[in-house]
Amino acid sequence: MNKQQKKNQVLIVAIFAMTIIPFLIAWGLKENPTLVKGTTNKGHLVVPPITISDQDITGFDAFSKDNIKELHGHWLIVNVIPNAGCNEVCLEALLKTKQLRLMLNKELPRTRRVVVLYKNLSDDVAEQWWLKDTILWRLNRLEDNESKILYTHLLHEENKLESSLVDKLIENENRDVALNSDLIRVQLSAEVLKKIAEFNKGPVLDGMLFLIDPLGNLMMQYDSGFNTYKVKDDLMHLLRISQIG
């Protein structure tokens, strides 16, 4: 057997492994549910996984279109904004996923943070959400009463983040650095959204969370009010048993 034949065999085996691994993981978790520990907030295993191709994903804005390649080969922690508004539940879910990534420590580079938008929105509306994703995170880490009051105030969508307030909160920091976001904003094809709704047996609600493997398979779904630590346990387990991403 010559070198080219050996390379072809290795390639065939690699392609087969990439196809079968997510289904083996899903089957193993289904047969051994105790492997994914949980409480009343535990995730729901998506069996069979919902496969999402590159053609099913569109960047929502210029930032996301420029960075959409970051989704390839990573585990995706996916928030959803199913409505034209992002209420308190929606915003707090975004903040939970930021916390979740940081809790992964050395495994953080294997993940990316994504939000799926169901509606077409104006730039002004969406920009408020991305600003709040950054500013609320900063406020939530402070212990003084003024910061706590402002955090609660800004959780309400009708309370806008004015540019003057943003400047005050970031003080002398470089604005681009201070407001830098790791959140990639996308929209999914109607076909994928339909499959998600069918699995969910109803509409997707504010605050829901999904996990997608590096091959584009939606594998886990968490209800609104999910427990960040329980999701972290599940994701760490998946990262340990997976050799991809």
| Helix H or strand E encompassing 13 | helix 3-31
Residue recorded with tokens 């992002």: 86
pLDDT number for residue 195: 95
**Residue 60: φ, ψ to 5°:** -75, -35
Q: Domain span at residue 160?
A: 3-241
The candidate with the shortest Cα–Cα distance to 52, out of 221, 216, 219, 220, is: 216
Encode pLDDT of 58-82 as tens digits.
Answer: 999 999 999 999 999 999 999 999 9
Q: Residue 14's domain is classified under what CATH number?
A: 3.40.30.10
β-bridge pairing 57-59 and 44-51: unpaired
Contacts for 29-36: CB closer than 8 Å, 24+ residues apart: 35/237, 36/220, 36/233, 36/234, 36/237
Helices (H), 156-241: 163-170, 175-178, 190-200, 228-241
Q: Which portions of the chain are predicted below pLDDT 50?
A: 30, 33-34, 36-41
pLDDT at residue number 244: 74
| Confidence at residue 41, expressed as pLDDT on a 0 to 100 scale | 45
Look at residue 79 in the predicted model and tell me its pLDDT: 98
Coil, strand or helix at 96: helix
**Count of the separate structural domains present in the chain:** 1
Determine the pLDDT at residue 241: 87
